[in-house]
Amino acid sequence: MKTALITGIFGQDGVHLAELLSERGYRVVGLARPIAETLPDRQARISGKVEIVYGDLRHEDTLGTLLKKYKPQEVYNLAARASSSQLFDQPLLTADVNGLAVVRILEAIRTVDPKIRFCQASSSEMFGNTLESPQKESTRFCPRNPYGVAKLFAHGMVEMYRSYFGLFACSAILFNHESARRGPEFVTRRISQSAALIGAGFANSLQMGSLDATRDWGFAGDYVRAMWQMLQVQVPADYVVATGETHSVREFCEIAFARVGLNYQQFVRIDPRNKYIPDAVPLVGDAAKANSELGWRPTVTFQQLVHLMVDADVYLLAHGGHDTFAGSLR
């Protein structure tokens, strides 16, 4: 039985990855922050499948102690300050958690057991204002917020530990990925929740910024599968994980509201104070390398993704009531 250590276990990706590894017979150890919020739904999904431990990645001794105690063969770093509301908030904390913490993990692996395989959840935010589209592994990085800058530092350190120290370390350059477990602070979940609430008569409008922004949206379950596949090959490498398609926020709203029998135009209100600054080029990933070398491909279409998110919120609302959405992170 292999043992895997997952940081950020209670995040969307952490739960999906824990389920996938458990199905494959792994012993899964999940690291959570000591002040992690109570997330009953997520905890219930991995209850009995994951050994939960608490620790802070900003403390150097945490990782070494965990590696010595649990002796994992694989480590997946999914811990990060990730919400859009935090992109410019507390840049020092972002740099520590999203950047320096990765170096602490790599250093712990190097000193405790350099045979451990490591996968870093990297981000398409590193591309930022790049001028090449679609973006692939060789595309020039040009991050435009502290989150992207910190992720780029971590990405570079993963490459350095791989080339200089010979670690099996790789980065999954993940484009936007969603699921019914996405937090309500993200725009996609806010749309799916609002569609459910308005469809049930608990709300009458959704305030949004521009609907013209486009993103390459995929299903989180597909993306964690790519991370697992990256650690099963002979030679470590970095991979872009994306669908290769872009869709607008407007499309997301249209499909979400149609799922509950509504026309989004009657309920979505645009706040003129939120000015939309278009991307220099479309942000869309080229996953050809992952397709050819890993045999990875997404299995959930954009429409299916929106439907499953709305369906989950309709179910949650029907079984838990309106108050369920207050603080819910399904």
Phi/psi-derived region of residue 201, left when phi > 0, alpha when psi is between -120 and 50, beta in every other case: left
How far apart CA 23 and CA 2 sit, in angstroms, is 12
174, β-bridge pairs: 123, 241
d(CA 329, CA 89): 21
Burial (0-12, 13-18, 19+ Cβ within 10 Å), 273? exposed
Task: Name the catalytic one among 123, 171, 179, 192.
Answer: 123
Strand, helix or coil at 22? helix
Among 74, 76, 122, 125, the one annotated catalytic: 125
- Check if 315 is active-site: no
Residue 56 near residue 93, CB atoms below 8 Å: no
Considering 26, 147, 161, 239, which one is annotated as catalytic? 147
Indicate if 123 belongs to the active site. Answer: yes
**Known active-site residue 147:** yes
Max distance between CA atoms of the chain, in angstroms, equals: 59
Q: How far apart are CA 31 and CA 28, in angstroms?
A: 10
- Tell me the catalytic residues: 123, 125, 147
